[in-house]
C-alpha cells in the first residue's frame, strides 16, 4: 500500500486530520478540495493538496464528503474523465445513504473499480489520534487490500457487504442522538433539584446511564460552552433521517427514532446554520430556563 498514491477527497473537519495522519504514516497522500483554505490547512501539516482529482493520479481514492449527492457527483465526473478504472480502489468514508451506496457499486464495477464504504465514528479527536472506529462494508478482498491504510486511522470493523458500513453508521448516530438528547434532558432536570451538571454527570458515568454523551460530549464540548465537536447538528439530523428511512423501507417500526427525528428537526430550526450538534443541549437548557 505504501507505494500507491492515495487521494483523500474532502479536506474538512475530519478529512484534514485523517490525511495528515496518513502523511505521517509514510503514505503518498494527495488531499483534494476545491477550497484554497482547506488545501492550505493540509499544506501546513506537510501534506500536498490539489483542487481536483484529475491532478492526483491516485490508485486509492478515499472520500470524506457531506452526503451521497456530492459523492455521486464527484465519482460521476471522475468516471466521465477516465480518472477511475481497473486497478483503482474507491472507499467512501462519508456518511452516505446506504441504498445509494449500493447503487453505486455496479456502476463502478463496470469500470473495473473496486469499491467499499467505510464511514467512521470518533470525531475530530479520534481522527487526530488515529482512534476512529471504521465501519467497513465490502468484500474480504478489498478489506485486505486497504486495511494497512485504514488501520493508520483507527480500528477497522468489517460489518458486511457494500452499503452495510453506511447503514451501521446511520444507526450508530441514531443511538448517539438519543443518548445526547436524553442526557441533556436529565442534566437540565437534575438542575431543578439543585444538582450541578458535573454532579449528575459523575453519577451517570459511574452508573448504567453512562454513554459517549455523558463521558465525552458533555464534559468536553457542552460544560465549557465551546460546542465545537466538529460534527454539525444538520449532519446528525441527516443521519437520523437515513436511519429512520432504512426502517421505513424495511417495514420495521421505529417509534423512538421517528419521535427523535421530529425533536431534532424542531431544535435545529432554532439554531444558526452550521451549528454543532452538541448545541442541542443549549437549546434544551434555554427552553427550560424559559419555563422557569
Instruction: Write down the domain spans for the chain.
Output: 5-161, 167-291
Neighbours of 115 (CB within 10 A): 25
169 belongs to the catalytic site:
yes
The cell 481514492 sits on which residue?
61
Question: Which grid cell sits at 195?
Answer: 444538582
Question: Which grid cell sits at 67?
Answer: 452526503
Report the distance separating Cα 139 and Cα 277, nearest Å. Answer: 33
**Multiple choice CATH, 5-161, 1.10.1840.10, 1.10.8.290, 3.50.30.40, 3.40.50.720:** 3.40.50.720
Report the distance separating Cα 74 and Cα 33, nearest Å. Answer: 11
Report the distance separating Cα 270 and Cα 248, nearest Å. Answer: 27
**Strand 89-92 to 60-63 pairing:** parallel
Report the distance separating Cα 250 and Cα 234, nearest Å. Answer: 24
The reply to whether 5-161 and 167-291 are identical in fold is no
CB 25 within 8 A of CB 53: no
Report the distance separating Cα 53 and Cα 21, nearest Å. Answer: 20
Burial of 84 (0-12, 13-18, 19+ CB in 10 A): buried
Question: Which grid cell sits at 268?
Answer: 435545529
> What's CA 201's distance to the chain center, in Å?
25
What residues contact residue 240 under an 8 Å CB cut-off, 6+ apart?
A: 170, 173, 174, 177, 257, 260, 261, 264
CATH number of 167-291: 1.10.1040.10
Report the distance separating Cα 92 and Cα 105, nearest Å. Answer: 11
133 vs 118, 121, 158, CA distance in Å?
Answer: 9, 5, 11
Report the distance separating Cα 155 and Cα 2, nearest Å. Answer: 19
**Strand 120-121 to 132-137 pairing:** antiparallel
pLDDT at 231: 94
- Which of 169, 217, 220, 238 is flagged as catalytic? 169
* Per-position pLDDT tens, the chain of length 292: 557 899 999 999 999 999 999 999 999 999 999 999 999 999 998 899 999 999 998 999 999 999 999 999 999 999 999 999 999 999 999 999 999 999 999 999 999 999 999 999 999 999 999 999 999 999 999 999 999 999 999 999 999 999 999 999 999 999 999 999 999 999 999 999 999 999 999 999 999 999 999 999 999 999 999 999 999 999 999 999 999 999 999 999 889 999 999 999 999 999 999 999 999 999 999 998 877 5
Question: Which of 234, 235, 230, 199 is CA-nearest to residue 217?
Answer: 230
63 vs 135, 169, 250, CA distance in Å?
Answer: 14, 15, 28
Amino acid at each position: 500500500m505504501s507505494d500507491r498514491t492515495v487521494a483523500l477527497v474532502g479536506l474538512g473537519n475530519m478529512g484534514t486530520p485523517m490525511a495528515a495522519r496518513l502523511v505521517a504514516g509514510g503514505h503518498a497522500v494527495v488531499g483534494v478540495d476545491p477550497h484554497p483554505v482547506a488545501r492550505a490547512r493540509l499544506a501546513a501539516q506537510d501534506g500536498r493538496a490539489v483542487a481536483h482529482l484529475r491532478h492526483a493520479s491516485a490508485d486509492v481514492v478515499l472520500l470524506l464528503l457531506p452526503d451521497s449527492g456530492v459523492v455521486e457527483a464527484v465519482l460521476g465526473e471522475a468516471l466521465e474523465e477516465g480518472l477511475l478504472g481497473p486497478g483503482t480502489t474507491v472507499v467512501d468514508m462519508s456518511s452516505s445513504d446506504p441504498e445509494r451506496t449500493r447503487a453505486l457499486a455496479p456502476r463502478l464495477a463496470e469500470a473495473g473499480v473496486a469499491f467499499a464504504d467505510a464511514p467512521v465514528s470518533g470525531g475530530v479527536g479520534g481522527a487526530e489520534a488515529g482512534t476512529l472506529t471504521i465501519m467497513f462494508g465490502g468484500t474480504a478482498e478489498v478489506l485486505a487490500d486497504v486495511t494497512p491504510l485504514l488501520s493508520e486511522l483507527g480500528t477497522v470493523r468489517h460489518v458486511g457487504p457494500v452499503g452495510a458500513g453506511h447503514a451501521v453508521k446511520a444507526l450508530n448516530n441514531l443511538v448517539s442522538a438519543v443518548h445526547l438528547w436524553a442526557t441533556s434532558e436529565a442534566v437540565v432536570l437534575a438542575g431543578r433539584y439543585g444538582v450541578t451538571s458535573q454532579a449528575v454527570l459523575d453519577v451517570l458515568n459511574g452508573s448504567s446511564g453512562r454513554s459517549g454523551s455523558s463521558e465525552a460530549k458533555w464534559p468536553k464540548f457542552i460544560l465549557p460552552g465551546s460546542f465545537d465537536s466538529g460534527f454539525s447538528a444538520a449532519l446528525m439530523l441527516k443521519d437520523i433521517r437515513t436511519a429512520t428511512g432504512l426502517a421505513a423501507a424495511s417495514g420495521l417500526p421505529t417509534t423512538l427514532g421517528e419521535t427523535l427525528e421530529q425533536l431534532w428537526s424542531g431544535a435545529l430550526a432554532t439554531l444558526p446554520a452550521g451549528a454543532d450538534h452538541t448545541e442541542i443541549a443549549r437549546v434544551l437548557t434555554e427552553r427550560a430556563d424559559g419555563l422557569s
